[in-house]
Amino acid sequence: MLPCSLSTKENIASKLFDWKKVAQKDDGLKEVFYYDGYDGGFHYNNGRPGQSEQFKGRVSHFQDELKHGNASIIIRNTKISDSGEYTCDFPHLEPPQKFNIELLVAATPKPSVTTLDATSYWALLQCEVHGASLTSGVEWKDSTGNKLPAEETRTPERDHYYITLNTTVTKTGRYRCVTTQEEIKHQTHAETFVHISGEISFLVVLIR
């Protein structure tokens, strides 16, 4: 939900308000939702043309809240491409009013882990993440939460990235691959258990 309300709480059912998205690069403004109360409440969901293809069928307003000055909208099935700056404009008010709202849509894909190779003394683990964003962070951790040294590869996939993160472990235990969406600080993870049969143990003998 993108909030937009008049502080006066006046009835805007017979007013006009226009939601736009500030497009990336030099594409100008994208029409998100237009409500024209001067024309009987004509808007993009009841036949009015002009809405950007990006938002068709996904945006609605709160009809029952217009009498309280609420021009907020809901964008459903949000996409990462919906992120950006939006404006809510009342051009015919005296004085005209415009509000700016920043929307961040981020995804945190769940990683998958596999064992690429193993001996009695070590195991090579790989973590794969499909659909990661530019700001997604991936790291291997041991059972106590310590970050492990690892080799990362990022491959572009349309507007996302395919990430692989390889690490070599030499001790029996649980290992976790953690994906973090840095902008919203949300995490997902996958775990694997590794048994190292040839772990070296040290016996200290005290001779008196």
CB atoms < 10 A from the CB of 152, how many? 14
Task: Look at residue 36 and tell me whether its pLDDT is greater than 50.
Answer: yes
Under 8 Å between Cβ of 45 and 60: yes
Separation of alpha carbons 111 and 191, rounded Å: 9
Q: What is the largest CA-CA distance in the chain?
A: 101
Give the Cα separation of 115 and 91 in Å (integer): 61
Query: If one looks up domain 16-103 in CATH, what number appears?
Result: 2.60.40.10
Question: For residue 140, what is the enclosing H or E element?
Answer: strand 136-141
Q: What is the pLDDT of residues 42-73, one digit of tens each?
A: 899 888 899 999 999 999 999 999 999 999 99
What is d(CA 192, CA 186) in angstroms, rounded to the nearest whole number? 21
Instruction: Summarize the confidence of residues 65-83 as an average pLDDT.
Output: 92
C-alpha to C-alpha distance for 88 and 14, rounded to whole angstroms: 16
- Cβ atoms of 194 and 124 within 8 Å: the answer is no
Place of tokens 């008010």: 93
**Tokens of residue 188, six digits:** 């997902």
| Average pLDDT over the chain, rounded to an integer | 89
Q: Select the more confidently predicted residue: 185 or 96.
A: 96
CATH class of 112-194: mainly beta
Contact 52, 30 (CB under 8 A): yes
DSSP 5: B
Query: Could you state, in order of their start, the residue ranges of all structural domains in the chain?
Result: 16-103, 112-194
